[in-house]
Amino acid sequence: MKDILTAPFLIEMIRTTANMYAHGWDERNGGNISLMLSESEVSEYIDVNRVLRTIPAGFKAPSLEGKYFLVTGTGKYFKNVQYAPDVNLGLLRLADGGSNAQLLWGFADGGTFTSEFPAHMMSHAARLTVNPSNRVIMHCHPTNLLAMTYVHSLDEKAFTRTLWQMCTECIIVFPDGVNVLEWLLCGTNEIGEATAEKMKTSRLVVWAQHGLYGAGADLDEAFGLIETAEKAAEIYLKIAHLPLVNTITDEQMHLLEGRYGVKAREGYLA
Ligand code: 13P
Ligand code: ZN
């Protein structure tokens, strides 16, 4: 058995959490990540038949039965993952119709998965129906996007169009736009179900006055998606109080669609 601390998925998770902390998106224990892994990847490093603990998920996710996830722990600080990955992270497998999590490695202090486990698992299930290559759900509290939810309409089309207009790259990186949930109680199955529903039509879901969810094929892709939207929100906050002289027109957005082979969300461009 190889040392799990040398596993590419673990190294990438450590780098990503440290980078997200450095970006100021994950104060204290803010944010959580789940990375789906295959049994063949995992079994190089751990005995998949040795279950350390069984933790009730609190919901059922039948389509995820037997799937493996590396997940951040509840109450754990992203800045500390690099120093104690086996305490701050857990590797688990969903069992019993997706109603139990079998811990195979990590959460060494007796801890457990993120309080946003329902939103993560339900979002994985939703994204897999849209795009089978999806492996990552990432939640964080990016400052500018969060600030934007206090001063901008939460209408999804309006919110998306504003972000698209802030940087030329936005429509290329997230042509499906962003979906928005009004404030809901976090850490519940209800917000999990609502997030998963929104994940069916966009890889970005804003939680008003809280933060953001991003989905992607790998950690880099989910990170880059969030980074791009957050950059757009930063520009918006820099200009929102100034008279607008120029913008990216819908005509120019159509040129971007043609050049980069993307299709903007139906009905979002004139
Ligand atoms: P956890 O520490 O349970 O992951 O919660 C952090 C968070 O961002 C809640 O939305
Ligand atoms: Zn949060």
111 Cβ below 6 A of ligand 1: no
Nearest to 126, CA basis, from 73, 211, 205:
205
* pLDDT tens digit sequence for 132-155: 999 999 999 999 999 999 999 999
Test site for ligand 1: of 20, 32, 191, 195, most ligand atoms within 8 A of the Cβ: 32
- Give the closest ligand to the alpha carbon of residue 75: 1
222-249 pLDDT, tens digit per residue, is 999 999 999 999 999 999 999 999 999 9
CATH of domain 1-115: 3.40.225.10
Residue 167's pLDDT band, with cuts at 50, 70 and 90, is: very high
**Smallest CA separation from ligand 1 atom 6, residue:** 30
Amino acid 66: pLDDT: 98
**Ligand 1 centroid, distance to 46 Cα (angstroms):** 27
CA quadruple 202, 208, 212, 216: dihedral, nearest 10: -10
Where along the chain do its domains lie?
A: 1-115, 116-270
Is there a shared CATH topology between the 1-115 domain and the 116-270 domain?
yes
Distance CA 235, CA 54 (A): 46
pLDDT in tens, 81-93: 999 999 999 999 9
Domain 116-270 grouped into CATH 3.40.225.10: yes
Residue 75 CB less than 6 A away from ligand 1: yes
Beta bridge partners of 216: 136
CA distances from 58 to 63, 117, 118, 187 (A): 15, 9, 8, 11
Q: What is the DSSP string of 182-226?
A: ----TTSHHHHHHHHHHHTT-SEEEETTTEEEEEESSHHHHHHHH
Can you tell me which atom of ligand 1 is nearest the CA of 210? 10
Whole-number pLDDT of residue 92: 98
Q: What's the rounded Cα separation, in Å, for the pair 140 and 138?
A: 7
- pLDDT, residue 34, reads 99
Instruction: Find tokens 């803010």 and name the residue.
Output: 30
Angle value at C-alpha 189, between 49 and 213, nearest 5 degrees: 85
Which ligand 1 atom is at minimum distance from the Cα of 73?
A: 4
Distance CA 185, CA 198 (A): 16
CA distance 44 to 110: 24
Token pair, residue 48, equals 């998949």
Ligand 2 centroid – CA 114 distance (Å): 10
Which residue(s) pair with 212 in the sheet? 140, 206
Point out the residues that are catalytic.
Answer: 116
Q: Is 214 in the pocket of ligand 1 (CB under 6 A)?
A: no
Q: 188 CB less than 6 Å from ligand 1?
A: no
Residues in CB range of 194: below 8 A, 6 or more apart = 181, 184
Report residue 17 CA to chain centroid gap: 12
> Letter for the amino acid at 163?
L
User: What band does 95 get if pLDDT is binned at 50, 70 and 90?
Assistant: very high
Residue with the smallest CA separation from ligand 1 atom 1 is 74
Backbone angles phi, psi at 218, to 5 degrees: -150, 180
Ligand nearest to the CA of 115: 1
115 lines ligand 1 (CB under 6 A): yes
From the CB of 26, is ligand 1 less than 6 Å away?
no
Beta strand pairing call for 204-207 and 136-140: unpaired
Check if the beta carbon of residue 208 is closer than 8 Å to that of residue 149. yes
